[in-house]
Chains A and B, each alone.
Chain A
Amino acid sequence: MTTDIYRGEKLRLVAMNSETDAPLMNKWRRDSEYARLLDSDPVRLFNTAQNKEWIEKMQKAEAFEGIELIMRTLDEDKPIGFVALDGISWHNGISWVGIGIGERDYWSKGYGTEAMHLIARYAFEELGLHRLSLNVFSYNTRAIRAYEKVGFKVEGTVREAVHRDGKRWDVIFMGLLREEFSM
């Protein structure tokens, strides 16, 4: 009760603001290296109005099946990326988790690890979930290392599931159980 679980040592997680975050997501996505790491769908560009509508639709949804939060640095209060729970299944006690750091200057500095730790703590301590799942492209070794630091374990490899730049890449599946996570 005495700890603000939305806050870590380097950053905090805040609700998305459809006015200010919509243009930011637009800007981040134009970095195609960033956008292609988010998922295996062909990268698309959305305008600010589309992003705004997407955020508002999600925030108005009646069923709580997911949440997207913005990562803000504690020292400058700068929005640098997002972290999300997606496809929460309450009867199974599970959710998917996703993350993206749109500001390249903040890559490989521990922000991703801390944001994953914060969203996992929220999922387990506040939502009472039992398990988090994610998948990651085999070439994204930076992300895999961060997920392992949070406690995620590799559960298998889906072979050649992504086709990009004329090559096929594996997708690694990872899972984290509540009892394996140290708050």
Chain B
Amino acid sequence: MDKPLFTAPHICLTAIDAKDDAAALATWTQDSRYIPLAEIGKAPHPLSELQAKEMLEGILKESDEKRNTFWFAIRTPDEKEMLGIIGLSWVDWANSAVYMDLSMKDTAEYSQPSTREALELIQRYVFHEIQMHRLSLNVPEYNEALIEALTVLGFEQEVRKRETLYRFGRRWDSLHFGRMARDWEKQIS
């Protein structure tokens, strides 16, 4: 029988609604420790609700037009609270390779089951729904909880891009994690 793609014990994945979700995203960014989507690429700063709405509209518009990005909201099972955003920021169809991106509502959330379950669901989506060969994710070295979660799930560090990020008054490495379809298949079988 089909395993559900969008539900897990502690979370569900749903579409993002730029209008309804802007307030939550704006609230997250008022804490300087918030880790935004790497995809955005801009210097972190607090977002107004209007700016948050425009940011979400931007990624949804690109997703509609280019058909090589996919975004989901990570929510509590009752869908009352958004816990994070997860997505595929670049599906390289010709090479069956995909980059994912993840931003949880605060730093504590990366240690919660929500993060692990979102990573499990996105792997199923990547390997069984769109049939990719490999999955990549760049993580700042200061996001230790996410690195721990990825390592437990079997992601392997492939590249250490030295001193790529400037945040919190110093330079940090960015770690490129990779997951091969064959390794995931082995693990779930």
- B158 engages A157 (CB within 8 Å): yes
Interface residues of A in 167-183 (CB under 8 A from B): 168, 173, 175, 177
With A157-B158, A158-B136: A41-B164 Cβ-Cβ less than 8 Å: no
CB pair A40–B159 under 8 Å, yes or no, is no
Chain B residue contacts of A41, Cβ below 8 A: 92, 94
Does any Cβ of B come within 8 Å of A131's Cβ? yes
Indicate if A133 sits at the interface (CB-CB under 8 A). Answer: yes
User: How many B residues face the partner with a CB closer than 8 A?
Assistant: 25
Contacting pair A89 B163 (CB below 8 A): no
Chain B residue numbers with a CB within 8 Å of A109 are none
**B10 contacts the other chain (CB 8 A):** no
B136: chain A residues within 8 A (beta carbon): 158, 161
B8 within 8 A of A: no
Q: Is B134 in contact with A92, judged by CB distance below 8 angstroms?
A: no
Contact between chains at B158 and A131 (CB < 8 Å): no
Given contacts A40-B92, A163-B96, contact A91 B166 (CB under 8 A): yes
On chain A, the residues within 8 Å of B178 by CB distance are 158-159
Interface residues of B in 134-160 (CB under 8 A from A): 134, 136, 157-160
Interface flag for A128 (CB, 8 Å): no
If A41-B92, A130-B166, A173-B159 are given as contacts, then 14 extra A-B residue pairs at C-beta distance below 8 Å, sorted by A number, are: A42-B94, A130-B163, A131-B163, A155-B159, A155-B161, A156-B158, A156-B159, A156-B161, A158-B134, A158-B178, A159-B158, A159-B178, A161-B95, A177-B163
**B contact set with A: CB distance below 8 Å:** 41-43, 92, 94-97, 133-134, 136, 157-166, 171, 176, 178, 180
* The 10 A-B residue pairs with the shortest CB-CB distance in the complex, in nearest-first order: A156-B159, A91-B43, A173-B159, A163-B95, A161-B97, A42-B94, A92-B166, A156-B158, A155-B159, A158-B158
